[in-house]
Amino acid sequence: MSGNNNISLNYPIGTAYGHCHISTFFKKLFAKCYEKDSAPELVITNSITDLKSDVAALNKDGITELSYDYLHAMEASLKDVGFRYAVINKDGKPVLFAYFQLYRLSTQNFKLDDGNSFMQRIVSFFLKFKKAKVVILGNALRTDTLAFSFDMHAMSSDEAIASVATIADKIATDIGATAVILKDTGGNTLQANKMLADMGYKMPWPDQVMDLALQPEWATLNDYINTLSRKYKTRANKVLASSKDIVKRTLTADEITKYVPAIKRLFAGLIEKQSFTLTQRGVNNIAQLKQLYKDAFEIVGYFKDDKLVAFYSAFVKGHTYELYYVGFDYALNNEYQLYFNILFSGLERAILLKKKTLNLGRTSFDAKASMGAIPKNADYLIRLIHIPDVAVKWFTKFFSSLEDAKWKLRRPFKNTEPV
């Protein structure tokens, strides 16, 4: 996926870039033609090492997700993911940095049912024949994380978005991608949204994450439980009581390294149950994340007879406690309610850390709704390229129904209509 050639181009050169859509913003931003011996306007590479100094120069706020160490750790650990890093220079100085992940999708990424509909046969054939390639802005494995930085004195936010979209199109053209996804771009202006729509970007299906808003009067988990209606309070106490024989503790950095094989095993068991998986290597960099984030990244382990039977990881950031990867032994889940205990433990940590929001991610909506979490629309746009209409319809239906249609919004708190 990653290849070995970097792309270094002087812009604007119509013949070199004529096959890609160049936005008005991009043309305006780079109206000056540079000489051959000057610094390239746009550099695209598959190794973050090539742009180490540029990344540091633009990441003035020291954002971890845009740091060299973070990006290098991801690149080193996600071996089945391709990476592209881009820098735009103006007057010999970097003014924008963005990174992208590249994925190849095949039938192995999808848990297809046993149906043999005409539409599914077409999609299976398409995936086997085409090996769909997807370009994704930023880290596809997380939400609400920055994927680009820019010099606000050199360009506006609209120009930055236009440039990022143009770079994404260039990368997509180079690798023959079938889709480009722009995520976590922030609150775009109407002008930027119109520009992206003109380029063919849209939101064909909703993408949501579950968030639980914490009340300021909650000082302990018991305070939260006491706000639940009788039905949900009884259920919560039963879940917590079921884990009395389980030892729970936050793992140190050394312990994380020690238990990496067990963490991978538990995570793999969870992945096997998913309808769609981008990569199975997501936990490969979990030890590096602890080194990078230190106290802002936690891994909590659950032990039965000194054996790790469940874990969860979480980012501690701003006003949010973000649950990340989890894993548990399915054979023990019913007896010890491991998954629900993970959710309650995450909530307890968020309360004790006085956070305002518990971010619970995409999966298992019904379980999270029963805690009081509600869905929030994720920020993304997608441009589909040379995909048959029947495949587009199938993908739309598939991704729209990833969360079981049986889940419904719950009202577990007192003084609300019971569900």
Mean pLDDT of 104-129: 57
Please give the pLDDT value at position 351.
97
| 29 Rama class: left (phi>0) / alpha (psi -120 to 50) / beta | alpha
DSSP symbol at 312: E
Q: What is the pLDDT of residues 63-98, one digit of tens each?
A: 999 999 999 998 988 888 899 999 999 888 999 999
Please give the pLDDT value at position 214.
96
Please give the pLDDT value at position 362.
73
Please give the pLDDT value at position 112.
56
Domains annotated for the chain, with CATH where assigned, are: 7-198 (3.40.630), 208-377 (3.40.630.30)
Beta strand 307-317 pairing with 148-150:
unpaired
CB 360 within 8 A of CB 189: no
Q: Residue 345: is its pLDDT beyond 60?
A: yes
Q: Residue 398: is its pLDDT beyond 80?
A: no
Q: What's the CA gap between 4 and 22, in Å, rounded?
A: 26
Q: What is the pLDDT of residues 192-212, one digit of tens each?
A: 888 888 888 887 776 778 899
Beta strand 133-137 pairing with 179-183:
parallel
CB 70 within 8 A of CB 59: no
Mean pLDDT of all residues in the chain? Answer: 80
Beta strand 320-328 pairing with 357-361:
parallel
Q: What is the pLDDT of residues 210-268, one digit of tens each?
A: 899 999 999 999 999 999 999 999 999 999 999 999 999 999 999 999 999 999 999 88
Please give the pLDDT value at position 56.
95
Contacts of 299 (CB under 8 A, 6+ apart): 250, 251, 256, 263, 286, 290, 311, 312, 313, 314
Q: pTM for the complete prediction?
A: 0.80
Q: What's the CA gap between 268 and 307, in Å, rounded?
A: 17
**Which one of 102-116, 251-265, 353-367 scores highest in mean pLDDT?**
251-265
Q: Residue 378: is its pLDDT beyond 80?
A: no
Q: What is the three-class DSSP state of 29? A: helix
